[in-house]
Chain A
Amino acid sequence: MAYSEKLLDHYNNPRNVGSMDKKDKSVGTGLVGAPECGDVMKLQIQVEDDKIIDAKFKTYGCGSAIASSSLATEWLKGKSVDEALKIKNTDISTELDLPPVKIHCSVLAEDAIRMALDDVRSKQDDEG
């Protein structure tokens, strides 16, 4: 199977690998898994004044899952929370030209983004 250059680039040089303190009020964590293959994806964002100032990920899975989450963190940085909510799995799969059997990897990334955004929102709501 031939993979796109963009995908290989993200796979070979993943951006923003790492972790943030998930207890930090400004940090939102999304942790999702793919029961089909046992992959795990963690995506974290740091939000200040409704803007995503940093994003990190850690993915244990196939190349497409790593590339999807790497691309997602790149896109998230600098966006507002509302803009971030608009990122769709199809944007990711189109950008990386994912083969049909790997579409679920981009779905995983979208789920992780949403979960991270929900998490940070609920934390900040709690603060009042």
Chain B
Amino acid sequence: MDCKSCNKTQLTPFFCSCCNVLDISYESSDKFETLGLKKSYELDKKDFEDRYLTLSKVTHPDRYQDLSETQKTKILNLSAQINGSYFSLKDDLTRAQLVLDHLISDGMALDKKSLPKNFLFEILEIREEMDEDSTDDDRLEEIESEVEGLRKSTHKEIEKIFQELTKLNVLDTNHLQDVQTKLNTISYYDRILEQIEGKLDD
């Protein structure tokens, strides 16, 4: 998007860093767009942090003390929107899911609930073992590190698929379905880790 006053590409749809013009009424549920990023898993970490810093500064409520209450609220909303986008996109797995969500809403047919074969049986077995009386803290810690390992390798696999897709420069449905299937496993691992934490704290 080009700036109306200087014709240069704006940093985001609501801010031109060149002439410092800010549209405080900007509202979007698109987290990529809010930060002026293209909808992709790949992220230039430095650029990403720089954007966040710049946008946080220009929307900082302290700079707008003299505005009307309505305008102050707008600034506050915009600033919250920037924060929300930043923290969602910073997380690799959330960003991956957001990319897929955009593709799905653009019409790509992905099954959002798919899981690897036998996955739930494996999860059930782990949950059952966690609840057995014979499972002591040492065993719980073993399970914890096993599940952490599974989560980490899933994360790596997802990253690898995205790298491959970038290299091929295609949006292949099979690959992306594979990503979705892997992403769907994460909440089960997280839940187990959360439960183990709770049990070990008791």
Which residues of A does B touch, CB under 8 Å?
Answer: 31-33, 35-40, 42, 58, 60
Contact = CB atoms under 8 A, between A and B. Distances in A.
B191 A37 contact: yes
Interface of B is mostly: helix
Nearest to B128: A58
A116 to B, nearest CB: 13
Contacts of A35: 112-113, 115, 184, 187-188
A31 B128 CA distance: 14
A33 B190 contact: no
A31 B184 contact: no
Contacts of B123: 33, 40
Nearest to A38: B191
Candidate in A40, A42, A58 with the most chain B CB atoms within 10 angstroms? A40
A38 B187 contact: yes
A35 B124 CA distance: 14
A33 B121 contact: no
Given A33-B115, A60-B127, A38 B121 contact: no
Contacts of A40: 120, 123-124, 127, 188
A42 B127 CA distance: 12
B124 A36 contact: no
A57 to B, nearest CB: 12
A38 B190 contact: yes
Nearest to A42: B124
A37 B184 CA distance: 10
Given A38-B187, A40-B127, A58-B128, A33 B120 contact: yes
Contacts, number: 37
A58 B113 CA distance: 21
A31 to B, nearest CB: 5
A60 B30 CA distance: 34
B188 A33 contact: yes
B192 A38 contact: yes
> Which are the 3 A-B pairs with shortest beta-carbon distances?
A38-B191, A38-B187, A60-B127
A60 B115 CA distance: 17
Nearest to B131: A60
Contacts of B190: 38
Contacts of B112: 35
Given A33-B120, A42-B124, 4 more contacts: A37-B191, A40-B120, A40-B188, A58-B128
A104 B195 CA distance: 21
B184 A32 contact: no
Contacts of A42: 124
Interface in B17-38: none
B179 to A, nearest CB: 14
B124 A39 contact: no
Interface string B145-166: 0000000000000000000000
A58 B121 CA distance: 12
B187 A31 contact: no
A35 B113 CA distance: 7
Contacts of A31: 120-121, 124
Contacts of B192: 38
A123 to B, nearest CB: 17
